[in-house]
Amino acid sequence: NIATLLLVQGTIQFALGILAEAGLSYVGLGAQPPMPSWGRMLFDAQTRMVTAPWMAIFPGMAIVVTVLGLNLLGDGIADILDPKSRRRR
C-alpha cells in the first residue's frame, strides 16, 4: 500500500525539485554559469527576448513539459497501482 504513495510522492517531489532549482538559478542562487541550468538560461535570455525569443521559449517549454510529464506520470502510477481508485467496469 505504501509503495504506491511513495512512487507518486517521489515523482511530485522530483518535479518540485526541478522547479526549485530553476527558480533559484533564475535569481542567481542556484547553479553558477559553467553549469547548465534551465533557470539560468531563462535569466540570460531576458536581454535577447526581442531579437532571439527562442532562447527563452525552449528552456521554458522544457521546464513546463518536464514538470507536467512528471505530474502526469505520478497520477498515472496512482491510477494503475491503487485498487481503490480504479473505476468499475
DSSP string for 27-59: TTSSS-TTS--HHHHHHHHGGGTTT-THHHHHH
The structure's pTM equals 0.86
Q: Cell numbers at residue 83, please?
A: 485498487
From the CA atom positions of the chain, what is the Rg in Å? 17
At residue 33, the pLDDT reads 86
Does residue 11 contact residue 85 with C-beta atoms inside 8 Å? no
3-state helix, strand, coil in the chain (%, to 5): 75, 0, 25
Max CA separation in the chain (angstroms):
55
> pLDDT category, 88, cuts 50, 70, 90?
low
Domain ranges of the chain: 2-85
> pLDDT category, 86, cuts 50, 70, 90?
low
